[in-house]
Amino acid sequence: MSDRFAVLPQYLLPKQALTVLAGKLANAKAGRLTTRFIRWFVARYQVNMSEAVNPDIASYASFNEFFTRPLRAGARPCADSDLLCPVDGNISQFGPIAKGQIFQAKGHSYSTTALVGGDSVLAAQFHDGSFANLYLSPRDYHRIHMPCNGRLTRMIYVPGALFSVSPATARGVPGLFARNERVVCVFDSAAGPFVMVLVGATIVGSMSTVWHGVVNPPRSRQVREWRYDDQNIVLKKGEEMGRFQLGSTVVLLFPKNTLDFNAGWAPAGPVRMGEAMGNHLK
C-alpha cells in the first residue's frame, strides 16, 4: 500500500474534534483508571521510568502529568559542542535549505516562508541555510530544550491542520509541516538568528513554552504574534524552552554558513536531548 493511499483516512477524520477530546482525556484525573492507562502506555511503548524524577506511576494524577514528566539530574548530559540536540526522538530529515525549500520526504518539500506563517522577511534570513526536523514518538521524553544560548524576539502561532506527523504521513501528505498547526519561536544568538518550530499533530492537546505557558488552546483561525524586543528573555543552552502535550515534531532553522551537522547523524536515526547536533562553522 502506498503512503499516499495509507493517509487518505486522515483527510476524512474529524482531527480537531479528536484532538480536543484527547486533550480533555489526557488532563482528566480519573484515579485508578488513569493509573491503569499509564501502566499500559509504559508497557506498550517501553517507556524508561527510571530516568524520571518521579518513577512512581501511581503518583501521577493525570496522563499529561505523566507525559510531560521531568527527567532526573544527569539523565541527559550535555555534549561539548556548539549546538545540542533539543529533544529525544528520531531524525526525520536534516541538511541544507535549497532555494528556500525544505526537504520533507521523497517527492515532497515545503517553503521556509510557509513554515514560519508567511513572513517572507523572516524566512529570507534562512535562505540557503540549514534545517533539522526531529520527530518525537509516544515513548519519548516530551520536553524541548535550547540547542544553544538564545534571546527570544518573537513567537508566532500559525493555525493549520492536525495531520499525524509520523514518518508514513510525512511521506504521504505534501507540505505536512507547513500545513499543520505550529508555534514559531524566533531567537537571536551569538551566531545569528535561529528558529524553533513546534509542530502540532492529531491528538496533540496543546503546546506550551516556558515564557508564555499554554499557547493552544485556544485555537484561532488567525495568525497570532507576540514580540519580545523590549524584554530580556534569555534561555541558556540545554534549558527547557517548551513541551508537547502528546508527541509531535520540532523543526529548526539556521542561517547560511553557520552550522556543520554532527557527522554521525542520519535520517531515521535516533537522537537524545543533549547530544551533539553540530558546531558553528569557523
Which residues are identified as catalytic?
A: 88, 145, 248
Q: What is the DSSP string of 42-84?
A: HHHHT--GGGBS---GGG-SSHHHHHTPPBPTTSSPPPSSSEE
Give the CA distances from residue 264 to residues 73, 146, 185, in Å, rounded to whole numbers and listed in that order: 26, 20, 27
- Residue ranges of E strands in the chain: 83-84, 89-96, 101-105, 108-111, 130-135, 143-145, 150-158, 182-189, 192-199, 206-209, 213-216, 224-227, 234-235, 240-245, 249-254, 259-261, 270-271, 276-280
Strand order in the sheet with 83-84: 83-84, 276-280, 259-261
167 backbone dihedrals φ, ψ, rounded to 5°: -55, -40
CA distance 58 to 156: 37
Strand order in the sheet with 206-209: 143-145, 240-245, 206-209, 213-216
Residue 222 corresponds to which cell in the numbers above? 488567525
222 backbone dihedrals φ, ψ, rounded to 5°: -115, 150
CA distance 268 to 105: 11
